[in-house]
């Protein structure tokens, strides 16, 4: 049974029944799923949730499916890790990492959104699915489409990391590289959807797809013992995730599952080479000036972020801020997280760590703040961004080992 009331335009409030739709037909604003919250509150309690398996479907009453999910059944329920060693480095006593770099099936937070979108495509009985992607979404749509037995069309910019391309092709997906950046790819997808009867997860399945990101908010709150964090640092590309995590936390308050008085400050992180949302927040406006991306954080390289307006509105409203970091700082962030916590994240995660460091230095995140960093992707997908020295090569002889490492025995 579904608790979805329908779709509602976030701009003009116009309501639509549940159907395949890219945006409001009047003002082009984004559509959001609306729910019968009172009915959910009556049916579901926090205690009842605790016995359900730890996946995104734990919160299925708050997701826009009409029937039982068929694929992506293991998605979500990723660890929330207390990060004491990184916390000491950053100067935060209460630091946690939401580790979506081990999400299922394709090691990024995108598994949450595609699990919802591809199940929705099955409900709509669509012939094929697709997406425009900077990489992680491509991997995830391709994998979930394969599991659903649906053909998929994945359009990517022509400069993506080879590992992200391979990890899409392997699923039998039709991968199409488009000359140009993500914004050009996106424009083409919009025109494809206009002509073909397919479900593109970030275009005409977007109102359903985007809801998947709310589960990060639900999980973090539940894993903190039904508390909202004081601060959360979230990487931003199109800007949708940050406002959906906020929506998730608000819904938990509405259901009475976390206290009304708890407030989370939202902190958005971007690469300096693609920072249109950070730039808007700094200028004190919500109007996004599009940019031409130039950064190693390719998964965040969206120069014309469709949800940037909402991100730039919510961030200051929540008492938070947005900050950016250079490519060198991104690599240093990846390294710092790996060396302190044993988690290997991709460039977007490096952005999150590097920006968190700046926010502490600026005094925006304080030592006592219960802070969560959203680590949204896996480092094995962006090896190209790193420039590590080759390992030391020795003969298979003890003497050769000691020649190089003998003096290191007491170094600890």
Q: Site residues (CB under 8 A) for another protein? A: 11, 22-30, 110, 131-134, 136-138, 180, 182-184, 186-187, 189-191, 194, 201-203, 206, 209-210, 237-240, 287, 289-290, 292, 302, 304-307, 309
Give the residue from 91, 124, 264 showing the smallest Cα distance to 200. 124
| Greatest CA separation for the chain | 76
For residue 207, the minimal CB distance to another protein (Å) is: 9
- Spatial distance between the Cα atoms of 330 and 311, rounded to a whole number of angstroms: 21
Q: Return the number of the residue (284 or 390) whose C-beta is nearest another protein.
A: 284
Q: Return the number of the residue (119 or 168) whose C-beta is nearest another protein.
A: 168
Q: Return the number of the residue (82 or 292) whose C-beta is nearest another protein.
A: 292
Q: Return the number of the residue (290 or 406) whose C-beta is nearest another protein.
A: 290
- Spatial distance between the Cα atoms of 388 and 392, rounded to a whole number of angstroms: 12
Q: Return the number of the residue (29 or 319) whose C-beta is nearest another protein.
A: 29
8-state DSSP, 319: T
For residue 223, the minimal CB distance to another protein (Å) is: 26
Q: Return the number of the residue (81 or 132) whose C-beta is nearest another protein.
A: 132
Q: Return the number of the residue (6 or 29) whose C-beta is nearest another protein.
A: 29
For residue 203, the minimal CB distance to another protein (Å) is: 5
For residue 235, the minimal CB distance to another protein (Å) is: 11
Q: Is 249 helix (H, G, I), strand (E, B) or coil?
A: helix
For residue 312, the minimal CB distance to another protein (Å) is: 11
For residue 186, the minimal CB distance to another protein (Å) is: 5
The b/e string for 297-332 (b: 16+ C-beta within 10 A; e otherwise) is bbbbbbbbbbbbbbbbebbbebebbbbbbebebbbb
For residue 347, the minimal CB distance to another protein (Å) is: 15
Angstrom CA distances, 358 to 266, 267, 313, 329, 333, stand at 15, 11, 21, 10, 11
Query: Under the phi-then-psi rule, with left for phi > 0, alpha for psi from -120 to 50, and beta for the rest, what region is 107?
Result: left
Give the residue from 167, 165, 149, 156 showing the smallest Cα distance to 106. 167
Give the residue from 107, 102, 160 showing the smallest Cα distance to 132. 160
- Spatial distance between the Cα atoms of 230 and 369, rounded to a whole number of angstroms: 6
For residue 198, the minimal CB distance to another protein (Å) is: 14
Which burial class, exposed, middle or buried, applies to 90 when counting CB atoms under 10 A from its CB (0-12, 13-18, 19+)?
buried
Q: Return the number of the residue (193 or 370) whose C-beta is nearest another protein.
A: 193
Residue 374 · residue 352 · CB < 8 Å: yes
């Amino acid at each position: 049974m579904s608790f979805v009331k329908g779709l509602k335009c976030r701009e003009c409030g116009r309501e639509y029944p549940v159907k395949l739709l890219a945006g409001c037909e009047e003002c082009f604003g984004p559509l959001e799923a609306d729910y019968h919250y009172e009915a959910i509150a009556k049916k579901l309690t926090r205690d009842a949730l605790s016995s359900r398996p730890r996946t995104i479907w734990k919160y299925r009453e708050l997701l826009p499916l009409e029937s039982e999910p068929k694929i992506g059944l293991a998605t979500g329920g990723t660890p929330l890790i207390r990060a004491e060693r990184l916390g000491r480095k950053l100067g935060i006593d209460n630091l946690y990492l939401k580790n979506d770099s081990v999400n299922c099936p394709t090691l990024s937070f995108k598994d949450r959104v595609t699990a919802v979108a591809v199940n929705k495509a099955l409900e709509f009985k669509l012939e094929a699915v697709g997406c425009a992607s900077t990489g992680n979404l491509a991997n995830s749509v391709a994998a979930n489409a394969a599991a659903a037995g649906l053909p998929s069309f994945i359009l990517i910019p022509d400069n993506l990391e080879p590992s992200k391309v391979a990890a899409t092709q392997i699923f039998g997906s039709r991968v199409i590289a488009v000359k140009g950046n993500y914004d050009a790819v996106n424009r083409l997808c919009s025109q494809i959807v206009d002509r073909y009867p397919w479900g593109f997860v970030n275009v005409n399945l977007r109102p359903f797809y985007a809801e998947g990101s709310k589960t990060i908010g639900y999980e973090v709150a539940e894993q903190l013992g039904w508390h909202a964090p004081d601060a959360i640092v979230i990487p931003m590309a199109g800007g949708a995730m940050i406002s959906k995590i906020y929506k998730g936390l608000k819904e938990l308050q509405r259901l009475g599952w976390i206290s009304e008085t708890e407030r989370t400050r939202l902190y958005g992180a971007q690469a300096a080479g693609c920072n249109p949302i950070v730039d808007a927040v700094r200028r004190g406006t919500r109007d996004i000036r599009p940019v031409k991306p130039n950064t190693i954080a390719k998964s965040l390289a969206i120069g014309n972020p469709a949800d940037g307006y909402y991100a730039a509105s919510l961030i200051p409203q929540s008492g938070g801020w947005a900050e950016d970091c250079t490519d060198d700082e991104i690599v240093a962030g990846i390294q710092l997280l790996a060396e302190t916590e044993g988690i290997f994240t991709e460039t977007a995660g490096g952005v999150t760590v590097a920006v968190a460091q700046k926010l502490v230095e600026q005094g925006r995140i304080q030592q006592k703040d219960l802070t969560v960093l959203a680590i949204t992707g896996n480092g094995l997908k962006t090896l190209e961004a790193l420039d590590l020295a080759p390992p030391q090569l020795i003969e298979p002889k003890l003497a050769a080992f000691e020649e190089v490492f003998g003096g290191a025995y007491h170094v600890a």
